[in-house]
Structure 1
Amino acid sequence: MKKLLSTLLMLIALNTAFAQSNNPDGNRFPVRGFHLDLRNQVMTMDALKKFAVKLKESGMNTLVMEWEGTYPYEKHPMIPNRYAYTKAEVVSFIKYCNDLGIDVIPLQQSFGHVEYILRNERYKEIREDQKDFSQVCPLETKGDSALFTDLYKELGTTHTSKYIHIGGDETYLLGHDEKCRLKAEKEGKSKLYIDYIRMLCNIVIKLGKRPVLWADIALKYPEAIKTLPKGTVFVDWNYGWDMSRFGDHQKLMESGYEIWGSPAVRSSPDNYNLTTWEKHFKNIRDFIPVSEKLGYKGMIMTSWSTSGIYSTVFESSTDIADLYPIRHVYPLSGFNILFDAYKEGLNSKQPLNIDDFIQKYCKEHFGFNKAQSKSFWTALTMTPYEIKQGEVASPTPMSVQQLLDSNHVAVKTLYSLKPVKDLEEYEHFKLMADIRDYYLQYQVIEKQLNDSAFKVAATPVVIEKLKTLLAASKGLNDRFSLLNKGYLNPADIEYENEVRNIKIINLYNRLSRKK
């Protein structure tokens, strides 16, 4: 009994010492950080370093880097993409962050969201499906998964963090192939998922690191959670929904694992033509206090540059020519206001007061008074609705033309306000509003063309409208390039301008029969 008591006291002391060493300033979240998604919109190294300084100045200590194809894997040279950094650049960046007191945690997707790896025939044997290359088959990998052992080892040579984030979210194809289907029928999908994740966690642990993974699938199969190594960290991502959206949240809380929370400054349905500003502000306001109350040990703000789902261009029935990310959003360069809202939400003992924050931010950054700040916020949050298959996804009936008219008001409001400082930052808001206006004008045209009452004789008028839009797009492209010069890779800026305009260009070419 005395030995048991002594052991318990020792464990309590060790836990206390560990908490103090990882939380020297007594902050409610020992891990306070940001997640950068480089699957799309690759930042320059100078921009990354400036961002690290911004994290430091904001009281943050962690940066989760989802390098994807920008990491220069040497043993697997088919994985890096055209925007990949050099190993020297990665090492220099991590040292730079470490000198600032920023821990850089590498995120390597290792189950789902691995199209960029599985597209290569070298890895065809471990695909869950030979048409949808998004997911690894958990039964086709070797006992120690040679691929991910290699990748984690390489990450370990450049990253000094004690963590490796293994991903593990949104494994939509779980149990899809025949082997996996039979195992799932016999033992359950949870067994498929957890056995594979446990293997990955053990690879990380053998490297002297702690595994980190997204919590959504584990929440779906809570009966298997406790079989993972005890050093595992779960990241509970929540972008404004019920805590039990993915499964019984209480089961996760009872598991005894360390948990970090994760809101978002960019997420679905955001794209180039829509930013759901109010949703993200409310997410910061609501989720951070809940995470603190639940005893989460970390808070990592995500900022998704894309959905993580790809459209595949096949060159034959078995081989692919390219992958295109589905859903592009405006670059992170235009989201300083949400970054600062997150900083305030982290550092304040009270939930974020959105109205007060907007007024304070607008006064400090743009020199706006209370009325001007209110007008600015109204313009940002006016009719934030998607268009799906030609219909406006609004709570009450609204036509595409009405949505466009509403955005005209938002654009006019933003242009009527005259900031006296931080003019470049304000230009991002104006450009986003103009891009949305450009998109909605196109949607009105497309709606007209798809109407059964449309007369072919009206086609020349439509072509002229499209020509006018395309002429306007050149100005938008130039503004986008100027505002993101030095922030995004130059080739990526060109690519983003192409993607944003491709639908309009294609329709114009179709209707005008342009050769």
Structure 2
Amino acid sequence: MEAGGPRRRLVHLDLKGAPPRASYLAEVLPLLRALGATGLLLEYEDTFPYVGPLEPLRAPHAYRYRPGAGGGRGPRCRAGPGPDVSLSPRRSAGEVRAVLSQARAQGLEVVPLVQTFGHMEFVLKHKEFAHLREVEVFPNALNPHKEESRALVKAMIDQVMAQHEDLKWFHIGCDEVYYLGEGEESKQWLQQQGNTPEKLCLAHIKAVASCVVSSYPTVTPIVWDDMLRGISEETLAESGVPQLVQPMIWDYAADLDVEGKVHLIEKYRRCGFSKVWFASAFKGATGVNQSLTLIGHHLKNHLQWLEVASSSPADVLEGIALTGWQRYDHFSVLCELLPVAIPSLAVCLQALKNGGYSEKIKENVEKLLGMSNLETDTFMSTSLGTFPGSNILTLVTQVSFYLKSSVDELLERNRYVTGWFSPYHRKRKIIHPIIMHHFHPDAVSLLSKWNAVVQDLQAAMEQVFHKCTVEEWLEENVHPSLQKLQQVVDDLDKAIKAQQ
């Protein structure tokens, strides 16, 4: 422990939505280090530049290769028959390697995360891999009975491993394996005496972890713990899983049950797990389409985790990952963008590093972020900040607070609009000429103002994100109100021209 906080503090970068450009990450990593991060938990999902038969997994915005020397070396996990999908790239993954090199330069340890059981939508949505689904119609969970499923997982692990050096941990996911046991092969397997969904889950985790451990003896697998929590001590102990993996206990609530977590840690210890990790959240855990981060919620979450740490044996905690979810799953909308949540991350990291939060620590956070007044209890922060991407936070705050409300104010609460320029009037072009002039200047002025803000936001976002992220965020958060306003102005212009 360091000053009451966990010694290892990994910042989770969830790259399955709004993956930042490598150039932006290069700007942010020194700040993360200064704030107290000791490492990164990199969840690549579809942004890893997979090659060979795995190439379909790469999103159009995946981190790019550049010509260069051969990829990283290391043993390959092989699994019997099936296609050889364990190809190691012959050229280095340029952007991935650059980020990893920058992380190393900052003294940040990297732990890669590859989902290998649940949350496999980014793989199983593709026709090439759809036959490996647990339930035919759902792309979320992998069928644990197929040899080819294990070959696929091992191939993904090998390609990611090949780009990393000196790894101590590798996160194999395994959370939220919904519909496990509901596939046809699982139903048959469960009819055999003594077989249960819990044993099926543990068998797959053991198979994946065994591959990692046998092929990469210096690497310890980490798993999310939610599928393990409800399993009896006896079943866990007998499975052999505790000797292979370290569980990462996650809870993102502001009022998590400290006593319950301490008991859970004790249970895991009795089952044979040598160490555990915690997982908190600095963003992406308070609403599926949340656009601004409520720092107070996340600060409380971290202060509760500090209580759990101080109530547990000192030698049990390996570290904590501060999760920053970008989507709730592969198909859901974006939640808070990384630059928007950096003040929350700063507060949480500093609380963990110092074993608590005080006025002095708040002042240090403000200094590191270049903010004169950091508000933790509301969404509003009055100062702009100088941290990378702070302009995005300022503009997103404006849009989130005022765009919809200002358009609604004009269109739903202005008596001239509701009384004389309703959809009925607009459709039939029954417009009183005097009435139009009462609110035409207001509508044009409001549209002009918001177009300028959105133009600035788009330009700022394009510095940090790929075009597809910018488009998605604007379509979800800006276009509904702006298009409504634009339509009114267009109808007004037509009506005025018709009167001339």
Picking from 215, 236, 248, the partner of 1:225 is 236
**CA distance in structure 2 between the aligned counterparts of 1:460 and 1:274, rounded to whole angstroms:** 36
* Structure 2 residue identity aligned to 1:150: A
| Secondary structure at 2:306 match in 1 | helix
Q: 1:81 to 1:288 in 2, by over 3 A?
A: same
* Structure 1 residue identity aligned to 2:225: A
Q: Structure 1 residue 130 and structure 2 residue 108: aligned?
A: no
Residue matched to 1:10 = none
**CA distance in structure 2 between the aligned counterparts of 1:499 and 1:95, rounded to whole angstroms:** 35
| Secondary structure at 1:158 match in 2 | coil
Matches within 5 A, 1:331-370: 331-348=337-354, 350-353=355-358, 357-358=361-362, 361-362=365-366, 368=372
Residue matched to 1:401 = none
**CA distance in structure 1 between the aligned counterparts of 2:404 and 2:395, rounded to whole angstroms:** 14
Q: 1:279 to 1:418 in 2, by over 3 A?
A: closer
Residue matched to 1:52 = 29
Residue matched to 2:40 = 63
Residue matched to 1:406 = none
* Structure 1 residue identity aligned to 2:156: L
**Structure 2: 5+ residue stretches without partners:** 66-92, 428-439, 492-500
Matches within 5 A, 1:256-275: 256-257=272-273, 258-270=275-287, 271-275=289-293
**CA distance in structure 1 between the aligned counterparts of 2:141 and 2:406, rounded to whole angstroms:** 35
Matches within 5 A, 1:55-134: 55-75=32-52, 76-85=54-63, 86=65, 87-134=93-140
Q: 1:117 to 1:277 in 2, by over 3 A?
A: same
**CA distance in structure 2 between the aligned counterparts of 1:195 and 1:255, rounded to whole angstroms:** 16
Residue matched to 2:74 = none
Deviations 1:107-166 (A, max 9, x none): 111111111111111112211223221111222x21881101111111121112132211
**CA distance in structure 2 between the aligned counterparts of 1:418 and 1:52, rounded to whole angstroms:** 22
Q: 1:442 to 1:210 in 2, by over 3 A?
A: farther
Give yes or no for contact 2:46–2:59 (8 Å, CA) kept in 1.
yes
**CA distance in structure 1 between the aligned counterparts of 2:179 and 2:485, rounded to whole angstroms:** 38
**Structure 1: 5+ residue stretches without partners:** 1-22, 311-325, 385-409
Give yes or no for contact 2:343–2:369 (8 Å, CA) kept in 1.
no
Q: Structure 1 residue 35 and structure 2 residue 2: aligned?
A: no
Q: 1:459 to 1:254 in 2, by over 3 A?
A: farther
Residue matched to 2:270 = 254
Q: Structure 1 residue 291 and structure 2 residue 268: aligned?
A: no
Matches within 5 A, 1:178-189: 178-184=184-190, 187-189=195-197
* Structure 1 residue identity aligned to 2:246: V
Deviations 1:178-231 (A, max 9, x none): 332454465222112111111111111122132111111111324433320513
Matches within 5 A, 1:15-34: 29-34=6-11
Q: 1:80 to 1:144 in 2, by over 3 A?
A: closer
Higher relative contact order (CA 8 A, sep 6+): 2
* Cα deviation, residue 250, structure 1: 4.3
Q: Structure 1 residue 150 and structure 2 residue 155: aligned?
A: yes
Q: 1:457 to 1:481 in 2, by over 3 A?
A: closer
* Cα deviation, residue 59, structure 1: 4.2
**CA distance in structure 2 between the aligned counterparts of 1:366 and 1:184, rounded to whole angstroms:** 58
| Secondary structure at 1:436 match in 2 | helix
Residue matched to 2:199 = 191
* Cα deviation, residue 277, structure 1: 2.2
**CA distance in structure 1 between the aligned counterparts of 2:397 and 2:138, rounded to whole angstroms:** 35
**CA distance in structure 1 between the aligned counterparts of 2:325 and 2:461, rounded to whole angstroms:** 17
| Aligned alpha-carbon RMSD (Å) | 3.9
Residue matched to 1:242 = 257
Which sits farther off after the overlay, 491-500 or 209-218?
Answer: 491-500
* Structure 1 residue identity aligned to 2:270: E
**CA distance in structure 1 between the aligned counterparts of 2:207 and 2:117, rounded to whole angstroms:** 11
Q: 1:121 to 1:143 in 2, by over 3 A?
A: closer
**CA distance in structure 2 between the aligned counterparts of 1:128 and 1:462, rounded to whole angstroms:** 53
Residue matched to 1:159 = 164
Count of matched residue pairs? 429
| Secondary structure at 2:326 match in 1 | coil
* Cα deviation, residue 427, structure 1: 4.3
* Cα deviation, residue 331, structure 1: 1.7
Give yes or no for contact 1:114–1:136 (8 Å, CA) kept in 2.
yes
- Structure number with bigger Rg: 2
Give yes or no for contact 2:28–2:388 (8 Å, CA) kept in 1.
no
What TM-score comes out, normalization by structure 2 length?
A: 0.73
| Secondary structure at 1:302 match in 2 | strand
